[in-house]
Amino acid sequence: MKIQNLMIYNGRNVYSHKPCIRADVHLEEYTDIPTCDIPNFNNLLLEYIPTLSEHKCCRGYRGGFVDRLYEGTYLAHVVEHVCIEIQNILGYDVAFGKARQTEHEDVYSIIFEYQNRSIAEEIVYLSVELANKLCRGVKYIKFQEKIHKLKDMAIKQGLGPSTLAIKTEAQNRGIPVLHLGSGSLLQLGYGCYGKRVQASITENTGCIPVDIACDKDLTKELLSIAGIPVPWGYTAKHLEDILDYADRIGFPVVIKPTHGNQGKGVSLDLTEKDQIIKAFHIAKNYCESVLIEKFIEGKHYRILVVNGQMVAAAQRIAAHVVGNGKNTLRELIEIENQNPLRGEGHEKPLTKIKIDPVMELLLKKKNIYLDEVPREDEVVYLRENDNLSTGGIAIDVTNQIHPQNAEIAINAANIIGLDVAGVDITTKDIRSPMVTDHGAVIEVNAAPGIRMHHYPTQGRQRNVAKYIVDSLFPQDHPCSIPIVSVTGTNGKTTTTRIIGRILREKGLKVGMTTTDGIYIDDTCIMKGDTTGALSAQAVLMDKRVEVAVFETARGGLIKKGLGYDLADVGIVTNISEDHLGIDNINTLEQLAHVKALVVEAVRKTGYAVLNADDPYCVEIGKNLSSHIIYFSADENNLFLREHMKAGGKAVYLKNNTLCIFDSQNQQELICLTEVPATLGGLLYYNIKNCLAAVAGTYALGVEPSIISKGLQHFNNGSKDNPGRFELYDINEFKVIVDYAHNIEGYREVISVLKKMNYNRLIGVIGVPGDRSETSTVKIGQLCGENFHHVIIKEDQEKRRLNRGEVSKFLKNGCQIANINKENVEVEFCEKKALQKAMLMAQKGDIVIAFYEDYDSMIKTIEETKSLLGNQKETSLMNNA
């Protein structure tokens, strides 16, 4: 078995509305061999992963998958379950998976849900490797070692508890979340409402306050100026200076790195010179400068301040174990680390206790050794700092904090300038004023961990992530811009552009993705085919954007899924033959299933906009639970009339006028003669595109008067709709440029051309190389039946076919139509083909060019126009 292709879906996709991986796996010699016929395969598999016995599979009962193994199932199905179970072993709660045969009998698509992308990718390869070894009866000695490596990798790469809590809170509120990069940077919300967070540092957190908080010496100075009690201290780079200051202030003292976090390198309650020397060198491992402070006696508390409000308080107790009179201290640590609440790093509510030089220094100071046996009930503290990251625990005391102490914490956060701050206080009892108890503010922390408040060892859990999200999105504050997503076989680009124009007419800053680039209003910020998930995300990350309009193509849906969570409006323009035979999409029903994702991923308050004239769109609508607006170019469409009779909303053409039905009343919007994009009703397919755009913007709540203005101001041509029936008058003939690239697209353009006045129709034709031979031949035949002269060109991007194959299929189609052979020629170069067509054009002719490279086509038109002008001028001079 080998993996041929891997596709990663970060969001909703054609297989699931959860992130998934699709691995196309070639089963090779095991294509038709079930597991029951592979010697000892099943026994070995369950030996390596015994928890597979919990899988129900399609049987619906525990052990169902094992039953299928012994009855005989295929390896793709096995790999699917292994991919899911390894994730479960690593702590990921995933269950969805399936395996499907592709158009190639020996290749299967294995699809499964994931939570950590990079881990899931590694698991695919590990699962296939395991299956290969078991098929050969070979022991996989390093399997468990690789599982452990994945476990370490998962801990390092997973979102920390603070980031995860904020993400979960946002999602529970319906706030969309984008994970930016491979770290813990998140964007909550979309477009102009987007806010970025990383752990508990928010977009509102200033760089200078963070720098101040990281500088412990500067923090104390600012707090002291404001009258907040802090311990005396001194910063130095040399040991001699630290020792001198210790003599000056007297023992006990604290040594810590000037810049640091999570209690790293901190040593407390030092009472001897030798202890200071060792603590100094430990702190030096973390920072060049070392801080010495007077030790403050008391209990240690963390006060969390968010947006000027005290939201939680916890007493922190250093890592410790309790003796039983039997086990050594080292053994007691090992036993405590077996606590299911303890994990590596921030993996779980508590962190495992690690033996390191800081701990050894503390124990030596107390004359305690790791191999001695503590008395029964003797509490042995293993750290002087009480950070959870070093094994400490937390007790919630939010309801116990004295108001004066809360006020001091709030003032400390404000003085440093932090919107989210963890204020560390040492005092005898948080229930009494710290000033009278000789307590002090020890530190003010930027990016404070919130795990201790969400998962205290004792006391009430505090959802402090709520307050952080509240600070970014106050009540009734929007979190997402309106999103319109447009898909279909034909008309996607024009519909998207018309919607964008109408929304700009409303005064909104529009972010738009199309086949020719990403636009912010009228400015193209990225050229190219930008109809996929990454392009959509680029728009949603842009803080200028007030509304997003996405052209969402089939290829992007299959390869990456959606680049957003839910849209306000999803539109399917039509379903017709295009790209069939690619990506295991062989029928129009399968294509409709892919396109349906766009209208399935619409929020409950949103609308799906569907073409009532298209039977596949009608079928899609039958399976939707969202609101639907149907559009039709025929007011008498029976399905449309039934929908309206049932109180549904609709947009349709009546007596050459676009009309809106609001579920009760009809409103005439605009006459076709006032809509330039339809050429007075001549461009029938643009009438349908306008109907779809009207329905989409009406669903967003745009006023009909604004929609009408937008339609009036949208023109075919390079400014509003480049490359879509774009017409140029050249001397005494016309050139029309269009992007039609499938049978239906060609048919619609030709139907318009036949209604125009012309002497001859000269076609410069070509199609992408990923169409089927049958489809390409049909297009050639259609052109041969309708054009007087055909020049066949080929795209620069060959896709699946070799040079000359597309032109051969098109030429065969032309010959089937019995066009004169002398009127069909092949010129591979698109630019030369167009130039040749223009040079042969006569008075009254129309040259129709179906392009691949728009910019090159327009440049060729201008150059050839200039050349023809010079020839005409030369001819006139010679005649004179």
> CA 379 to CA 398: how far, in whole Å?
26
- Predicted confidence (pLDDT) per residue in 704-752, tens digit: 999 999 999 999 888 899 999 999 999 889 999 999 888 989 999 999 9
* Nearby residues of 267 by Cβ (< 8 Å), 6 or more positions away: 254, 255, 256, 275, 278, 279, 282, 283, 358, 361, 362, 384
- Predicted confidence (pLDDT) per residue in 334-391, tens digit: 999 999 888 887 777 888 999 988 888 888 888 899 999 999 999 999 987 788 888 8
Q: Copy the structure tokens of residue 537.
A: 């995300």
> CA 296 to CA 425: how far, in whole Å?
10
pTM: 0.86
Q: Which residues of 73-105 are buried (b: 16+ CB within 10 A; e: fewer)?
A: bbbbbbbbbbbbbbbbebebebeebbbeebeee
Amino acid 719: pLDDT: 87
DSSP 318-384: --EEE--SSS-HHHHHHHHTT-TTEESTTSSSEE-----HHHHHHHHHTT--TTS-PPTT-EEE--S
DSSP 807-833: HHHHHHHHHHTT--GGGEEE-S-HHHH
Domain extent listing, the chain: 2-157, 210-472, 483-712, 726-879
Q: Top-level CATH class of 483-712? A: alpha beta
Report cis status (omega within 30 of 0) of the bond before 176: no
- Predicted confidence (pLDDT) per residue in 183-235, tens digit: 889 999 999 999 999 999 999 999 999 999 988 889 999 999 999 999 887 78
Amino acid 849: pLDDT: 95
Task: For domain 210-472, give the fold.
Answer: D-amino Acid Aminotransferase; Chain A, domain 1 (3.30.470)
Amino acid 816: pLDDT: 93
Asked if pLDDT for residue 879 goes beyond 60, the answer is no
- Predicted confidence (pLDDT) per residue in 56-87, tens digit: 988 888 899 999 999 999 999 999 999 999 99
Mean pLDDT computed over 15-27: 94
Rg (CA), the chain: 35
DSSP 291-316: EEEEPPPSEEEEEEEETTEEEEEEEE
Query: For the ranges 111-115, 251-255, 596-600, 704-708, which has the lowest average pLDDT?
Result: 251-255
Asked if pLDDT for residue 262 goes beyond 90, the answer is no
Q: Is the dihedral of CA 825, 828, 834, 840 positive or negative?
A: negative
- Classified as helix, coil or strand, 2 is strand
Residue type, 493: T
Strand partners, 517: 514, 527
% of the chain surpassing 70 pLDDT: 98
Residue type, 378: E
Tell me the HSE value of 804 on the side-chain side, using a 13 A CA sphere.
0
- Classified as helix, coil or strand, 288 is coil
Residues 100 and 22: beta-carbon distance below 8 Å: no
Asked if pLDDT for residue 152 goes beyond 70, the answer is yes
Q: Copy the structure tokens of residue 19.
A: 């992130």
> CA 346 to CA 161: how far, in whole Å?
6
Strand order in the sheet with 2-9: 2-9, 20-26, 107-113, 97-101
Q: Copy the structure tokens of residue 704.
A: 């009909």
Task: For domain 726-879, give the fold.
Answer: Protein-Tyrosine Phosphatase; Chain A (3.90.190)
> CA 24 to CA 396: how far, in whole Å?
50
Q: Copy the structure tokens of residue 275.
A: 């202890």
* Nearby residues of 564 by Cβ (< 8 Å), 6 or more positions away: 11, 176, 190, 483, 485, 536, 537, 540, 548, 550, 601
- Predicted confidence (pLDDT) per residue in 654-676, tens digit: 999 999 999 999 999 999 999 99
- Predicted confidence (pLDDT) per residue in 542-587, tens digit: 999 999 999 999 888 999 999 999 999 999 999 988 777 677 788 8
DSSP H helical ranges for 72-160: 75-89, 117-135, 143-157
- Predicted confidence (pLDDT) per residue in 484-496, tens digit: 999 999 999 999 9
Report residue 876's pLDDT band, with 50, 70 and 90 as the boundaries: very low
Task: Answer left, alpha or beta for residue 476, where phi above 0 means left and psi between -120 and 50 means alpha.
Answer: left
Asked if pLDDT for residue 261 goes beyond 90, the answer is no
Amino acid 155: pLDDT: 81
Amino acid 538: pLDDT: 96
Amino acid 91: pLDDT: 87
